[in-house]
Amino acid sequence: MSQPPPSSVSANRLVALLARAGLDWFLLALLGVVALAYWQPGLGSKASPVPWHLITTGGVALVFFFYGLKLNLAKLREGMRNWRLPLVVQVATFGLFPALALLARPFFGTTEGELLWQSIFFLCALPSTVSTSVVMVSIAGGNLPAAIFNASLSSLLGIALTPLLTSLFLHTGTGGGQLWGLATQLLWQVVLPVGAGILLNSRFGAVVDRHKAGLRYFDQFTILLIVFTAFCDSFAEGIFRRYEPADIAKLSVGMMGLYLLAFALIWGLGRLLHFSKADNIVAVFCGSKKSLVHGSVMASLLFPASLTGLVLLPLMLYHALQIILASSMAQYLGRQNAVATAAA
């Protein structure tokens, strides 16, 4: 048999190394669309002749419709039996994170700092991811049905709680006269598609399960479009000119600290409540994640277009870090479980 060329072997090794570190093609694509937006901001800004808003609006509605198709009401009802675990996950997601952001507010004293803090609080008000949380719980050897339930419940609650928290604590540009418009947009883009998907789950849920990979690519492509257009508007308006590279580096360190602190607090709370190890794995991985899908949609609805890129910056950094750090932690816990099972 002929051997693959050395260049192919090197490329495969590089891909494997990046995957082991948690760096998949999507994270690299996020960096790519931000770079493209910096280089050609007019391509995706409001001045572009391409109807980006219409395209992304339709994409978002489809993303949430397919999300609804994945939800099985019987499994959701079953997950409510162990009520303490969902309570910890949701309180951590929508209570602990916003509280940590509020505690950090005094450190953002300047006007630029206030904008950055608002984007961090917005991140903290977001729901958990579904697919990433479930995958990490599976790798770590946790309670998989509970992970599916808790991550799904978080996403559903986020439809209402994220706009509520941001309206209570942030100046998002959605004053009283605009709240009805926001509610209408959420209804058409998120609530109705999710509801329609849930109603059709019994008929088409199996079809969705067979095409998980393709639907995941569709989700990621829609996010890339939203991020691209958001950063195009922000670069066109010069929003990032006031920030130095050192500020971005500090923000990255802060996002890493936020994830590790939340992870440790949730793990400690689970131990205090005497959760089994399988349930505590669910609590930390579902309770410490933040959804880029919800964040991309909500940012475009809650904030002016010129500020959306800045609002998404902490979320993009957190998204990348949560995958890298969670992947390492999940693999470590998975190895621990394997050793314990072998010794039993």
Q: What is the pLDDT of residue 3?
A: 56
Q: How far apart are CA 114 and CA 96, in angstroms?
A: 20
335 near 141, Cβ under 8 Å? no
Q: How far apart are CA 233 and CA 66, in angstroms?
A: 28
Task: Quote the DSSP letter at residue 125.
Answer: T
Please name the residues in contact with 141: beta carbons below 8 A apart, sequence gap of 6 or more.
278, 281, 333, 334, 337, 338
What is the reported pTM?
0.77
φ, ψ at 130 (rounded to 5°): -105, -65
Q: How far apart are CA 205 and CA 183, in angstroms?
A: 28
The burial class, CB within 10 Å (0-12 / 13-18 / 19+), for 277 is middle
Please name the residues in contact with 182: beta carbons below 8 A apart, sequence gap of 6 or more.
163, 174, 301, 302
3-state SS of 281-313 is HHHHHHHCCCCHHHHHHHHHHHCCHHHHHHHHH
Count of positions (residues) in the chain: 344
Question: In order of start, what are the domains of the chain with their CATH numbers?
Answer: 26-335 (1.20.1530.20)
How does pLDDT run along the chain (344 residues), one tens digit per residue?
Answer: 455 555 555 555 545 544 554 456 777 888 899 899 889 998 988 788 899 888 988 888 888 888 788 777 776 666 667 789 999 999 999 999 999 999 999 988 777 788 889 999 999 999 998 878 888 888 888 888 888 888 888 988 998 899 889 988 886 554 444 555 666 777 787 788 888 988 898 888 888 888 878 888 888 888 888 889 888 988 887 877 777 888 888 999 999 999 999 999 999 999 999 999 999 999 999 999 999 888 888 888 888 877 888 888 999 889 888 888 888 888 888 888 877 777 76
